[in-house]
Structure 1
Amino acid sequence: MIVVTGATGQLGHLAIKALLKKVPAADIVAAVRNVDKAADLAALGVQVRQADYSQPASWDAALQGADKVLLISSSEIGQRAKQHQAVIDAAKRAGVKLLAYTSVLHADTSPLGLAAEHKETEAALRASGVPFVLLRHGWYTENYTMGIPGALAHGAVYGCAGDGRISSATRADYAEADVAVLTADNQAGKIYELAGDTAYTLSELAAEISRQSGKCIGYVNLPEAEYKNVLIKAGLPEPVAALLSDSDTGVSKGGLFDDSYQLSKLIGRPTMPLATAVKAAL
């Protein structure tokens, strides 16, 4: 039995769909905060169990009978390490044979501020005694393509990444790779640095949007504090704006670049090119 946490989230939902191609639906558990939102998964025969990252007591029932768990990191910045610890503790009590955790690319050396909670979770896994594998994700291409409407409206892509290169991949690519590891044998103790096959700068992203849209879109590189204020003015909550601006600065230091091709090797095909992702977004 394989349990996927945060199964109604964007990555979790894709992971379930990828699992269904390899595992009988009855052997898959979707652990979700709101059971009603998982009706489509239940209709496919997936077991749906209620579990909330902020309710530690909910995880014992959610992980009952689990052989493997895909622990998708919580989205609640500042609460993640504590929330992940609750799942790890429950996995230990349940005798889980493998816990796969979606960490961040090069977590141990990453200049990104968001890496701190991932490093804390990785340390908790090592201390737990639960067999685990680390799925260190790079950036999601969607983090940038979702900003294309704004770029078209303002005639520019804004950021503070300088000439830093981003080896991003789509959520679907990452989900497929996660499932490849989860359904393979002898994975305990392994660390995967997962990233897209090709890297790009934000200037190159702007140029690709220009090429496909027919509009002149430039890249405006700002100081981190100024870019954070731009994001807040665009309607993002302060913590999210802070995370994104800090991450862009991390990009400028090489924090989201990787050329090991581990992701495409796992999925047996190239990752989605930026041009294809931009076309889909447009």
Structure 2
Amino acid sequence: MIIVTGANGQLGRMVAERLLERVPAEEIGVSVRDAEAARDLGARGVRVRRGDFADPDTLPHAFEGASKVLIVSTGTTGEAAVRGHRAAVAAAAAAGAKRILYTSHMGASPSSRFVPMPDHAATEEALQRSGVPFTSLRNGFYTSSAVELVRGALETGVLAVPEDGPVAWTAHADLADAAVLALTDEVLDGLSPALTGPEVIDMAGIAEILTRLTGRPIRRVVVSDDEYRAQLIDHGVPESSADLLVGLFAASREGDFAPADPTLADVLGRPVVRVADYLKSALTTRG
């Protein structure tokens, strides 16, 4: 049985849906914090069980009978995230999984200034110590995050963010397809190469794309880290979230999210989604 954690989240749900196209439903299980929210998967024959990384006692039942476990990284950061990921790795090993897969990040590093990246690095260490064959999917930066970063600029015409660097933006759908292939065909092993979109684009480039797509000028303005943080807090963003976003730009300046790598397209056997196409679709959906 293939177990997918976090199947109520965006990436985990995409993986579960795509697995259903390749694997009989009775060979798929999902481990979710809210089993009721995954009831539709249960109706299609998927085994749905409650599993919470923050409550390790729930994991043996959730992972029971696992041949492979995909650990989708949590939305928390810091010690809580690392502790939860380590508990999931240990539970997968104890369940007898023959391979443990984890959704890591191309920027995973103990020294990164973007808070989730040291967490990913620590989890990769746990995978290496587990004694179980593993695949750490070093995903590129989600293109959906770019949509969130520019949301205000679409209203004001000004994209005012800190100095940044190039980012290999990558679509959730492409990463979900790669995860499914890793689960079913074992196309990747150990620490994967960076799984990215086909190009690196900075915020100035994003502003140019938005200008073309919307037909109205989107001007890129550089503000200091401190000014950006203060603006976020003034708009009600919690300090911890503001610090995280400031760290994102600092890490991009240091090259944590570049360069682009061809591995994802090679694994999928097709072109991957370009930033302009993703943004065009997002703007169409937004109306």
Query: Normalised by the size of structure 2, how large is the TM-score?
Result: 0.92
Alignment of 1:202-213 (within 5 A): 202-213=203-214
Shift of 1:244: 1.8
Q: CA RMSD in A?
A: 1.7
Shift of 1:179: 1.1
Conserved? CA contact 1:145–1:277, under 8 Å: no
Conserved? CA contact 2:18–2:180, under 8 Å: yes
Task: Select between 220-229 and 68-77 the one with higher mean Cα deviation.
Answer: 220-229
Alignment of 1:35-54 (within 5 A): 35-54=35-54
Shift of 1:13: 0.6
Q: Secondary structure at the match of 2:169?
A: coil
Match of 2:153 in 1: 151
Match of 2:119 in 1: 117
Conserved? CA contact 2:187–2:267, under 8 Å: no
**Given residue 240 of structure 1, which amino acid in structure 2 is its aligned partner?**
S
Alignment of 1:216-235 (within 5 A): 216-235=217-236
Q: Distance in 1 between matches of 2:228 and 2:194?
A: 28
Query: Normalised by the size of structure 1, how large is the TM-score?
Result: 0.94
Task: Select between 109-118 and 206-215 the one with higher mean Cα deviation.
Answer: 109-118
Match of 1:2 in 2: 2
Q: Distance in 2 between matches of 1:46 and 1:178?
A: 18
Q: Distance in 2 between matches of 1:277 and 1:143?
A: 11
Q: Distance in 2 between matches of 1:231 and 1:196?
A: 29
Q: Distance in 2 between matches of 1:173 and 1:232?
A: 34
Identity of matched residues, %: 36
**Given residue 160 of structure 1, which amino acid in structure 2 is its aligned partner?**
P
1:157-189 deviation per Cα after TM superposition (whole angstroms, max 9, x unaligned):
232243x11111111111111111111147543
Conserved? CA contact 2:19–2:180, under 8 Å: yes
Of 134, 142, 149, 1:140 maps to 142
Distance 1:266 1:230, change over 3 A: farther
Q: Secondary structure at the match of 2:194?
A: strand
Structure 1 unaligned runs (5+)? none
Shift of 1:109: 7.4
1:98-130 deviation per Cα after TM superposition (whole angstroms, max 9, x unaligned):
001111104247734321111111111111212
Number of aligned residue pairs: give it: 281
Q: Distance in 2 between matches of 1:176 and 1:235?
A: 36
Match of 1:99 in 2: 100
Distance 1:219 1:186, change over 3 A: closer
Q: Distance in 1 between matches of 2:256 and 2:96?
A: 35
Shift of 1:199: 1.3
**Given residue 88 of structure 1, which amino acid in structure 2 is its aligned partner?**
V
Distance 1:44 1:241, change over 3 A: farther
